[in-house]
Amino acid sequence: MPYWMKLMENAKERPLSTEKINWKELESKVFMPVFKRIPVTLVRGKGTKVWDDTGKEYLDFVAGIAVTSLGHCHPVLVKALKKQAGTLIQTSNLFYTIPQLQLAELLVKTSCLDYAFISNSGTEAVEGAIKLARRYGKVKLDGAYEIITTMNSFHGRTLAATAATGQNKMQEPYTPLPTGFVNVPFNDIEAIKNATTRITCAVMLEPVQGEGGVNVPADDYLKKVRAWCDEKGILLILDEVQTGIGRCGSLYAHELFGVEPDIMTLAKGLGGGVPIGAFLAKESACVFKKGEHGGTFVGNPLVCAAAFAVLSYILDKKIPEHAAKMGVYLEDGLKKLAAKHDVITEIRGKGLLIAVKFKSEIAEQVLLACLENGLLVNNVKLDAIRLMPALNVTKKDIDKALAILDKVLQERR
C-alpha cells in the first residue's frame, strides 16, 4: 500500500490535527535542517506587528527580510490577492496574461530600463541576469562570459548565484561551482579594473551590500564602476533585490548614486510578501531570443496582480520619500543611542536598511533580548544587527523600537 493511503487510513496519525503541537520538534522531524531559527512560531501579522502562537505581540523590524514593504497583510495586497485568486491563478507562459504585462509595464515606465522578465524569487532574478549577460557576451563580446562580483556580496542560493556570491562559507559546501565568476573586494574600483580581461562580460554589484552587513560604498564608487564598464563595453548588473522598491529611500538605490545599470534584479520588497522577483534590462543589453529563458510559474497572474497592487500603492503614496524620512529619523535615534551606549561602534545604511555595529560579537544576544521585549531584529553579522521595518513604518513605531533597544543595551551593562 502506498504511504499516503496508510496515513489516511490511520486517522490518528494525520498531520495538521488540532491538538497542541510542538512546532520546533515537528520541524526537527520533517523539515531539512538548514535553517537556524529564532525560537518563535509566528502565526499572524497586521501592519508592523506580528503575533506568535502564545499570543505574544512583536514590533517587526525584520519585515520578512525587507519583504513586507507595506507591513503585514496590507489591505491593498490582501484585496488584490483575493480578487485575483477568484479570477485566474496560473496559466503557464504559453499564454498572455494581463497582470504580468501590467506589472512589467509599470516596472519599465518607472525605471531607466526597457524590458522586464518576472521570476519567482531573487536568486532566479539573478540567475536570469547572469544568463542574459552570458548571451550578451556570446553575441556581442566575442564569447566573453566572466562576471566580476564582490566579496561579502549575496546574490542567492542557486549554484550560479552561489558562485557569484563572494562568501567562502556559502561556496565551500558545493564546490565545484559553475565557473565564470571572480570575486574582488567591494568599494574598490582598482580591483575591478585589475580583474577585467577580454573574457569579462559584466560586473555585478549590490548598490548597498545587504546580507553582507549593510555595507555602503563611497559616494562615487558606482559612478566609477559605470564609467569603467562603459569604457570596456561590458555590462553593469545591479542586484537591487534588497535595495530596490523604496527600501533605501528612493525607488531604486542606483538613483541615489546617480548611475543607471544595464541590467537590474529585484525581488524582496516587490510583492509586499508574495514570492516574486524580476530582472530588467536596457534595450541594448536585451539580446534574448524566443526560447532562451522561461519558467512554468514565472510571472503568474496571482503574484503579478499582488505586486502590481503593491507597487502602484508605493508609487501613488510616494512611499520611497516616506522611507527616506523615516530612515533619517531612525538613524538619528540610533546615533543618540550610540552616544549613550559605547558598545555601539557604528550606524550604517541607507533609507530603511540600517545596521547597528557593536564592539563585540553580541548580535545574537541583543536579538534575543529584543525578542524578549517584543521587538524583532536581524543579526546580520556576529557583531551587527540589521533593521529593515516596513516602508510605511511610523515615528511612533520607531520610537518604540528605539526604546526597546535602549532598554536592552542598558540591561546588558
Report the interface residues with ligand PLP, using CB under 6 A: 121-123, 126, 154-157, 206, 210-211, 239, 241-242, 267-268
CA distance 206 to 216: 10
In the complex, which residue's CB is closest to ligand PLP? 122
Q: Count Cβ atoms within 10 A of the Cβ of residue 302 and give its class: 0-12 exposed, 13-18 middle, 19 or more buried.
A: buried
- Least separation in angstroms between CB 318 and ligand PLP: 24
279 given a catalytic annotation: no
Nearer to ligand PLP, 274 or 337 (CB): 274
Q: Considering 61, 181, 239, 397, which one is annotated as catalytic?
A: 239
Minimum CB separation from ligand PLP for residue 264, in Å? 11
E strand residue ranges, 86-155:
115-119, 146-150
Q: Is 31 exposed, middle or buried (0-12, 13-18, 19+ CB in 10 A)?
A: exposed
The CA distance from 348 to 218, in Å, is 12
Q: Are 147 and 201 in contact (CB under 8 A)?
A: yes
Least distance from ligand PLP to the Cβ atom of residue 140, Å: 25
Q: Looking at beta carbons only, is 157 or 224 nearer to ligand PLP? A: 157
- Identity of the residue, 229 or 241, whose beta carbon is nearer to ligand PLP in the bound complex: 241
- Residue 60 beta carbon to ligand PLP: minimum distance, rounded to whole angstroms: 17
CB 94, min distance to ligand PLP, A = 25
Strands 384-387 and 353-358 come out as antiparallel
Judge whether 318 counts as a catalytic residue: no
How many beta carbons lie within 10 A of that of residue 330, not counting itself?
25
Q: Which residue of the set 232, 268, 350, 381 is catalytic?
A: 268
Closer Cβ to ligand PLP, 271 or 333, answer by number: 271
* Contact between residue 205 and residue 183 where contact means Cβ atoms under 8 Å apart: no
3-class SS of residue 32 = coil
**Residue 246 or 333: which CB sits closer to ligand PLP?**
246
154 labelled catalytic? yes
290, three cell numbers: 524566443
Q: How far apart, in whole angstroms, are the C-alpha atoms of residue 387 and residue 389?
A: 6
The catalytic residue positions are: 154, 239, 268
